[in-house]
Structure 1
């Protein structure tokens, strides 16, 4: 499925919002996706980043995630 740059950015933003809020379900347009784990969600974000980079003509050397269990000291 070929997506344009604006759609990929919106999808990436929806994925990031879901990940930061702790949700596992994403609804984007008519599509509804439930991720089983945070690693699946991280992989989807990384894939979006790579596709966006390819459309923009740049390379992604790596994606760094900072995660926590939500526990504060």
Structure 2
């Protein structure tokens, strides 16, 4: 039985979460989202490229769903504030 686009999107997001967790811990081996196997990367740079590809796939799939909001990447954040003193 084929997955619906919403299920595919959930799987991709779970895969992204596992990849982010592995990148944060410094481990080069990541379990697949459905626990079907594992992926071992050669370097952190390769993990970053895989993450960028995964984010692109998620955004492309999310754009095809009705009523989906596509996330944009922020280039600059400006913070202003006032002191209460």
Structure-2-length-normalised TM-score: 0.63
Q: Bigger radius of gyration, 1 or 2? A: 2
Question: Where does structure 2 lack aligned partners over 5 or more consecutive residues?
Answer: 64-69, 75-85
SS of the aligned residue for 1:26 comes to strand
Q: Which has the higher contact order (CA 8 A, sep 6+)?
A: 1
Q: Are 1:50 and 2:56 counterparts?
A: yes
Q: Across the two proteins, how many residue pairs are aligned to each other?
A: 61
Question: Where does structure 1 lack aligned partners over 5 or more consecutive residues?
Answer: 63-73
Following TM superposition, the consecutive aligned residue runs of length 4 or more in structure 1 with deviations greater than 6 angstroms are: none
1:5-24 equivalent positions in 2, closer than 5 A? 5-24=9-28
Structure-1-length-normalised TM-score: 0.73
CA RMSD of aligned residues (A): 2.2
